[in-house]
C-alpha cells in the first residue's frame, strides 16, 4: 500500500451520491476518477492504477463482488486498498466483501462523507 493516497477510483451507480463523494474527495485534495458501473470502474482502475478504490456492491453490468474477485486475481491490482460503501450491510455480505479483499466497509445509510474522507486520510 502506498504511504500517501493521492488517486482514488470511485465506483458508485447512484449519480447523486457519486457527485457528493467526488466533491468531498476533491475538496480534500484527492484526484478522483469515477464510474457508474463495475465494468467501467474496472477499466478506470486498470488505466489509472489508483492508490485506493471506493466500491459499491449493487451496480449494473458488474457488481462489486465481481470487481473484488477480479482485483484479487490480478497481481498488478490486488494490493490496492478497497473501501466498500454499500447499503448491503448484513453480516454475510460484509464478510463476503472482506473475504474478497475489501479493507473496510461503510454502510451508505449511516456514513457521513466527512468521516469517509477522514478514514482515507488515515490509511
pLDDT in tens, 36-79: 999 999 999 999 999 999 999 999 899 999 999 999 999 999 99
With cell 469515477, the residue in question is: 34
Of 4, 10, 3, nearest in space to 25 by CA: 10
What share of the chain has pLDDT > 90, as a percent? 78
CATH class of 7-122: alpha beta
Supply the angle between the helices 113-122 and 15-27 in degrees, to the nearest 10: 50
| pLDDT tens profile 19-42 | 999 999 999 899 999 999 999 999
Amino acid at each position: 500500500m502506498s504511504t500517501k493516497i493521492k488517486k482514488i477510483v470511485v465506483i458508485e451507480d447512484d449519480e447523486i451520491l457519486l457527485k457528493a463523494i467526488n466533491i468531498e474527495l476533491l475538496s480534500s485534495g484527492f484526484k478522483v476518477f469515477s464510474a457508474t458501473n463495475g465494468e467501467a470502474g474496472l477499466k478506470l482502475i486498470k488505466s489509472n492504477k489508483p492508490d485506493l478504490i471506493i466500491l459499491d456492491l449493487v451496480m449494473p453490468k458488474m457488481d462489486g463482488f465481481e470487481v473484488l474477485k477480479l482485483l484479487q486475481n490480478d497481481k498488478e491490482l490486488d494490493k490496492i486498498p478497497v473501501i466498500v460503501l454499500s447499503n448491503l450491510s448484513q453480516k454475510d455480505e460484509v464478510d463476503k466483501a472482506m473475504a474478497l479483499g475489501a479493507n473496510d466497509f461503510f454502510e451508505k445509510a449511516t456514513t457521513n462523507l466527512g468521516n469517509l474522507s477522514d478514514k482515507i486520510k488515515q490509511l
